[in-house]
Amino acid sequence: MKKARKKSRKKAEAGEMEPPIKYWSHSSLMSFLRNPLAWHKRYVEKVYDTPSGPASIVGRAGHVALQHFYGGLGKEGSIELGMEYLRNVPDFEINFGKANTRGARKKRRARMEREYMQAINFYLARPPRHKVLGIEVSGLAEVEGLPLPVKAISDLVVESRVDRNALDIVDHKFVEAFSPQGAAKTLFVIQAIFNYYTVKEKFGKPVRRFIFYECRKRKNADGKSQMRRHTIDFDDVEEEFAVFHRLLRDATEEISRPRRYLPNPSDMFEGENSFDIYRMRLLE
């Protein structure tokens, strides 16, 4: 044990520490880039006490419903299971914002249920059809040139309609407003590449496209479709793959050196929480 500690101390002094995590995921990478201290708390210390916003909970309920729908359950049963998930989330896991009283929280939960029912019914009115090969597919992949494996969960893995020998990945997003950049949005491209590597590893087949459906939770005033489909063809994003590799190498190098984790008070999701951690020296 003493030898191991001495070796670890020497590595730290030389700036050659082992990475404090075993793999990168899209969520952990985004968390690190947005707020390193909040990332350290969640992904290194494994403290999962930060409440989720109502929109995130509604989105998860929608994913539960679609998981069962594409698994073969009927629309009504799938919607019921999504609602069951939503109602079973305890209050302490939800960030209600300014809704501090019991009555205010009750009203917010009722609104969450309405938003869920509206969104899932919009989606299931004309659900996209696919030849589904996998649902909620979790995968871990070693990627040549990357110091850490990558991990991702794919909503659906389906047979590609543009290449019979390849696979497509399908992702669902329940949103307040459609993304103006669509498939060109950097956040979506990075997520797609995480899923690309894990699905390719798990199925041992080429992966052609990442398809994501945005379902707007509020009814469009102009009567237009509540759904938008965006497609990332992996044959067209060679440059993005190079940037992805560079970003993960740089991020791994950054977390592997001795450093102080500072809060980001301007982070709209975890700013206050990260500053409280810093103020109380909880991670020292």
Give the span between the Cα atoms of 64 and 73, in whole angstroms: 12
Distances (CA, A) of 116 to 26, 66, 91, 129, 146: 25, 12, 17, 21, 39
Q: Which domains does the chain have, with CATH numbers?
A: 54-125 (no CATH), 132-236 (3.90.320.10)
Which of 19-28, 53-62, 148-157, 178-187 shows the lowest mean pLDDT across its residues?
Answer: 178-187
Q: What is the DSSP string of 207-253?
A: EEEEEEEEEESSPPTT---SEEEEEEEGGG-HHHHHHHHHHHHHHHH
Q: Over 70: is that where the pLDDT of 3 sits?
A: no
pLDDT category of residue 4 using cuts at 50, 70 and 90: very low
Tell me how far the alpha carbon of residue 69 is from its chain's centroid: 21
Q: Over 80: is that where the pLDDT of 209 sits?
A: yes
Mean pLDDT in residue range 14-27: 85
Q: Over 60: is that where the pLDDT of 57 sits?
A: yes
H or E element at residue 133: strand 132-141
Angle, vertex CA 278, rays to CA 272 and CA 284, nearest 5: 150
Which of 32-41, 128-137, 143-152 shows the lowest mean pLDDT across its residues?
Answer: 32-41
Best CA proximity match to 229, nearest among 252, 210, 208, 201: 210
Q: Over 90: is that where the pLDDT of 15 sits?
A: no
Which amino acid type is present at position 258?
Answer: P
Q: What's the predicted TM-score (pTM) here? A: 0.85
> What is the reported pLDDT for 10?
46
Give the span between the Cα atoms of 121 and 71, in whole angstroms: 17
Per residue in 225-282, pLDDT (tens digit) is: 899 999 999 999 999 999 999 999 999 999 999 888 776 666 555 656 655 655 656 6
